[in-house]
Amino acid sequence: MRWKTDNLMGWGRALTREAEIARPERLSTLSETIQESPCPAIGNRRSYGDASTAAKAIDFTRLDRFISFDSETGLLEAEAGVTIADILNTFAPKGWMPAVMPGTGFATLGGCIAHDVHGKNHHLSGSFGQHVESLTLMGPEGGSQRISLKSKPKLFRATIGGLGQTGVIVSASIHLAKCPAGKMAVQERRMEDLDAFLEAFNSSRADYQVGWLDMSAKDIHLGRGILEEAHFSSGPFEPPREPRAVPFNAPGFAMSRPIVKAFNWAYTKRVPEAGRDVERPLHKFFFPLDNVHHWNRLYGKRGFHQFQCVLPDDEAPATLALMLEAVVASGLASPLSVLKRLGHGRGGMMSFPMEGFTLALDIVNKPSAKALLARLNELARNAGGRVYLAKDSSLEAGYVADMYPELDDFRAEVQKVDPSGVFETDLVQRLKIRGQA
Amino acid sequence: MSETWIILGATSAMARAFARKLAQNGANLLLAGRDMAELKRIAADCELRGATSASAVAFDARKPAKFEGIIEQATASGGSLNAAVFVGSMPEQSEIDADASLIDGVVQDSFTGAIRFLHTLAPHMEERESGTIVGVGSVAGDRGRVGNYVYGSAKAGFHTYLSGLRNRLARSGAHVVTVKPGFVDTSMTWGIEGMFLVASPDDVAESLIKAVKKKKNVVYTPWFWRYIMLIITHIPEFIFKKLSI
């Protein structure tokens, strides 16, 4: 296998490193590569921080074949490199779709499992890993085993959300959900402040929910934004148009305070005061940013951090207010932040979701970002919340055990299958997730 | 009636991308190559993506005895008969310089094996008075260069054959597209230094589908390689022989 020396970075581009990357196109080359030099697998690199960076990595994007599909039960087996959008585009016309879809269709099947991702329907459908029937896992010696929750409960639960630490996810069987229509009926409502927002979430009965926060609003407007509630409408599925692309890094001022403020003003005001009902094709609703390729370049060369946490219900209102205040005061605010309700569904030991509210926001990678991120991480921990490792670039290693109560079980299981730590990524090393040794 | 396509060298990244696009249009696919396990995976993938049928068949450019059987299998289904040729092999020129016997394999894989197959197929296309052959050559065939002139000369021979076959099949309503890709992001170019303007296999496949639809004769993909090669082929020999591009 030829290895390519290249810069490896997460989607946020704040953490980059030089790495040796192999990209097998055949299954036989994959096991040869692992035997030759075992290392973690990476997908489309849509995690934001350093979850998909390491000194050596196997790029899985060319192992992207569908293997089998049962049109009676909706059980799909595919190689881990297929993307969520590919599954949607291929199976929506037949009436099926991934039961859980993250905010980008570029995420791979393997990545969705390794981060146990969630979508806008988490309160109903749980996390991605809960729809995985079984999967093929390749160990450090290149041998494969098929595991399921039934056959190997501990290893399976360590693999779902397991950051690739139990081995290379080669392929997986997932239960698709029925896709009743190609369009979503979306109701958009303006939310005047944080309390109104949380209240609206708590009383919402919608299948799909997401909130967009205006991060330039202060004082009595703090937490202002738009709540989107959606359900399937009717009409056929339409494949997306060719996306536009951000061709190069935007200059530093592109995300400056006045521009962000103007953008937010326009974004909020496009929804009339009385709210509105719109129809959106599935792609536009589920993957709103995929329409612009390389949108991460808008943050310029220095990149950005994403912070996402979940906070338990009783602590959420007070802690969210503190977080928003800190972010607004910093002036590092991204244009849009996402607020969502999560249910209790989680598929693995290191899964992110817990019942409560989740906040996700982008922070421009300026020197002052460090202090803000530290403050946000601290607030999340003090509230008994959890920071999402798929997004993280700044957590304190000491916080991980507080946030992830099954960490010890996870460590024990990983130690059994990868005693020498060949699958460690930069994230895992930075946060000492495998332990101090 | 859906089209039938024979894809030679179907495990290559470009061929895979092309086969997927044909699958989405409901084609019957015969995926031919040496790695049967891999071909079966590609066939299953194509069927799930909409191919009317997709099967893996054993093909080795160096074993012409098997060619008839593949063509027979392809003619069994009705509709138009088409073929796309992605075969070829390119050992390092330095390896060839050390062992000239490697040349035979390169020429068989990239030229003589492919054209022997096409020559066996051509009468069937004439009989049906339809169908398209997509022959994937290379910009390396436009001018011999110190870095890969054995491969380049085999591809040049292939281009000349395709031009002749196009001339012949035009009389019966069948068509031949000659494709000259520049650098494509495949396992062949992965990690090699000095690559520039690298195209994705998916983009190349899309341009092939368009070329078939529009009955193009010779296409460079991506398109700008036509102009790069125009310059390269016009450098006077007394200068060119001193260059190492």
For residue range B171-188, list pLDDT tens digits in order. Answer: 999 999 999 999 999 988
DSSP-derived letter for residue A47 is S
Interchain contact, B38 vs A5, CB within 8 Å: no
pLDDT at A158 over 60: yes
Residues 314-353 of A with CB under 8 A from B: none
From the list B100, B11, B96, the residue with the least C-alpha distance to B60 is B11
Domain boundaries, chain A: 66-179, 183-396
The pLDDT of A13-35, averaged and rounded, is 95
pLDDT value of residue B193: 82
Range A66-179: architecture per CATH? 2-Layer Sandwich (3.30)
Q: Tell me if residue B7 falls in helix, strand or coil.
A: strand
Long-range Cβ contacts of A395-400 (<8 Å, 24+ apart): A395/A431, A397/A430, A397/A431, A397/A432, A400/A431, A400/A432, A400/A433
Percentages helix, strand, coil for chain B (3-state, rounded to 5) are 50, 15, 35
pLDDT the model gives residue A262: 77
Q: Please tell me which residue of chain A has the smallest CA distance to B48.
A: A66
Q: CA dihedral defined by B167, B170, B174, B178, rounded to 10 degrees?
A: 40
d(CA B181, CA B84): 14
Q: State the sign of the Cα–Cα–Cα–Cα dihedral A239, A99, B26, B58.
A: positive
Confidence grade of residue A436 (pLDDT, cut at 50, 70, 90): low
Whole-number Cα distances in Å, A230 to A117, A204, A298, A410, B213 = 20, 10, 29, 36, 40
Average pLDDT rounded to a whole number, residues B99-123: 96
pLDDT over 90, % of chain B: 83
- For residue A159, which phi and psi values (nearest 5 degrees)? -85, -40
Cα–Cα distance between A348 and A116 in angstroms, integer? 7
Contacting residues of A for B49, CB less than 8 Å apart: 66, 90
Residues of chain A found within 8 Å of residue B191, distances taken between Cβ atoms: 2-5
Strand partners, A187: A229, A277
- Inter-chain residue contact B191 with A2, CB threshold 8 Å: yes
Q: What pLDDT, in 10s, does the model give residues A87-117?
A: 999 999 999 999 999 999 999 999 999 999 9
Other Cβ atoms closer than 10 A to B164: 12
Q: Give CA separation, A383 vs A22, A337, A354, in Å.
A: 42, 20, 13
Q: What is the pLDDT of residue B1?
A: 59
**Amino acid residing at B13:** A
Q: Which of A3, A66, A67 sits opposite B191 (nearest CB)?
A: A3
Q: Which residues of B touch A29 (CB under 8 A)?
A: 187
Closest chain B residue to the Cα of A70, Cα to Cα: B48
Q: pLDDT tens digits for B62-100?
A: 999 999 999 999 998 778 999 999 999 888 888 999 999
Chain B closest-CA separation from residue A77 CA (Å): 10
Q: What angle do CA B60, B86, B187 make, to 5 degrees?
A: 95
The set of residues, in sequence order, having a beta carbon less than 8 Å from that of A419 and lying 6+ positions away, is none
pLDDT on residue A211? 95
Q: Report the C-alpha gap between A100 and A129 in whole angstroms.
A: 9
> Minimal Cα–Cα distance from B17 to chain A, Å?
10
Mean pLDDT of B110-138: 96
Cross-chain Cβ contact A90/B48 below 8 Å:
yes
- What pLDDT score was predicted for residue A241? 75
Encoded tokens for A188? 């958009």
Would you call B41 and A27 a contact, using CB atoms and an 8 Å cutoff?
A: yes
* pLDDT band for position A428 (cuts 50, 70, 90): very high
Angle between the B113-128 and B149-169 helix axes, to the nearest 10 degrees? 10
CB pairs under 8 A between A and B: 43
Residue A242, chain B, CB below 8 Å: the answer is: no
Identify the contact set of chain B against chain A, taking CB-CB distances under 8 A: 11, 13, 35, 37-38, 41-42, 44-45, 48-49, 186-187, 190-192
Identify the weakest region by mean pLDDT among A111-115, A342-346, B145-149: B145-149
Domains and CATH numbers, chain B: 4-240 (3.40.50.720)
CA distance A213 to chain B (A): 37
The answer to whether A387 and A323 are in contact (CB under 8 A) is no
Entry field: residues in chain A: 437
Q: Residue B185's pLDDT is what?
A: 93
pLDDT of residue B210: 96
pLDDT at B32 over 70: yes
CA angle B41, B135, B112 (to 5 degrees): 95
| Candidates A62, A64, A67, A176, partner chain B, best to mutate (most B CBs within 10 A) | A62
In terms of DSSP H, where are the helices of A185-238? 194-203
- Is residue A437's pLDDT more than 70? no
Who wins on pLDDT, B76 or A127? Answer: A127
Distance CA A89, CA A105 (A): 10
Distances A41 to A36, A47, A55, A57, A60 between C-alpha atoms, Å = 14, 13, 12, 6, 6
- Average of per-residue pLDDT values in chain A: 93
Report the pLDDT averaged over residues A322-331.
92
- Token output for B48: 């799930």
Q: Does the pLDDT value for residue A259 go beyond 90?
A: no
Please tell me whether the interface predicted TM-score (ipTM) of this complex is above 0.95. Answer: no
Burial B6-42 (b: 16+ CB within 10 A, else e): bbbbbbbbbbbbbbbbbbbeebbbbbbbbbeebbebb
In whole numbers, what is the pLDDT of chain B averaged over residues? 94
pLDDT (0 to 100) of residue A370: 95
pLDDT greater than 70 at residue A243: no
Distance from the B191 Cα atom to the nearest Cα atom in chain A, whole angstroms? 4
Percent of chain A whose pLDDT exceeds 70: 98
Give per-residue pLDDT as tens, A304-318: 999 999 999 999 999
In CATH, the number for domain A183-396 is 3.40.462
Determine the pLDDT at residue A215. Answer: 86
Could you tell me the pLDDT band of residue A195, with boundaries at 50, 70 and 90?
Answer: very high
Instruction: Report the alpha-carbon distance of residue A56 to residue A26 in Å, rounded.
Output: 19
Q: What is the number of alpha carbons within 13 Å of residue A101 lying toward its C-beta? A: 27
Q: Do A67 and B44 touch (CB under 8 A)?
A: yes
What is d(CA A132, CA A139) in angstroms, rounded to the nearest whole number? 19
Q: What count of residues does chain B have?
A: 245
At residue B91, the 3 state secondary structure works out as coil
From residue B223, alpha-carbon distances to A303, B64, B156, B232 in Å are 33, 34, 19, 15
**Cα distance from B204 to chain A (closest Cα, Å)?**
15
**B67 vs A72: CA distance, rounded Å:** 39
Q: Cβ of A26 and B48 within 8 Å?
A: no
Query: Which residues in chain B have their CB less than 8 angstroms from residue A68's CB?
Result: 44, 48
What pLDDT score does A317 carry?
Answer: 96
Residue B6 has pLDDT above 90, yes or no: yes
pLDDT tier, A266 (very low <50, low <70, confident <90, very high otherwise): confident
Arithmetic mean of pLDDT, A356-367: 94
> What pLDDT band is residue A297 in, cutting at 50, 70 and 90?
confident
